[in-house]
A and B are shown apart, each in its own frame.
Chain A
């Protein structure tokens, strides 16, 4: 149980392209999903908290107009990297927390490796 699916797993695109990443909870409902960014050999850095039916909460230093988050249902959150540039290249990972409450564990997807040429 507690499976989180992330799609696509890999994206290679030209500078200036916008890229959408999907995060789905397959066997549970998630009021809250989280988006992280991870550079090689580094830890996970929280970018934003995605709440179903409301606006996302962004961490300090993360541009909300650059990283658009939509959480339209209890099983799907999307992250759109708008007008991506080479410095946006990274490993983006989502996690989801069961609707039962804030004391539930976060379960992670397998990440999306974004490469901007």
Chain B
């Protein structure tokens, strides 16, 4: 089955700097890759997603890149702000096989003012 590895587990940056979180997946049939932000005591919130027919997607300060050959995808946050501090999860799924999400281990991002 699918396995998703996420790095780093913790990341601390200064306000205004960029943050990059990386994930690798094992199943080449996976075709959907969402990223979620989880604040303390709350459920995950979808912040951006990418499908396997696209190499890059951007939404304001957030971007995701996908390398299908290497089976890895990354989240890029530019101009970080203290409110970006949270735990970020990547996930992979194959919507031709029911679309179950397999999550990475999570990255705790801390943005220092």
Contact = CB atoms under 8 A, between A and B. Distances in A.
Interface of A: 4, 6, 32, 34, 42-44, 46, 49, 93, 95, 97, 101-103, 105-111, 113
Contacts of B16: none
A105 B46 contact: yes
Most buried by A among B36, B45, B89, B101: B101
Nearest to A103: B95
Interface residues of B, number: 22
B32 A103 contact: yes
Given A108-B36, A108-B44, A108-B45, A43 B99 contact: no
A58 B100 CA distance: 12
B95 A111 contact: no
A42 B105 CA distance: 7
Contact of A108 (B43, B100, B104, B106): B43
A113 B43 CA distance: 11
23 contacts: A6-B43, A34-B100, A34-B101, A44-B101, A44-B103, A46-B101, A49-B100, A93-B43, A95-B43, A95-B101, A102-B96, A103-B51, A103-B95, A103-B99, A105-B34, A106-B34, A106-B46, A106-B99, A106-B101, A108-B44, A108-B46, A110-B41, A111-B43
B61 interface: no
Contacts of B43: 4, 6, 93, 95, 108-111
B45 to A, nearest CB: 7
A105 B101 CA distance: 10
B89 A43 contact: yes
A93 B44 contact: yes
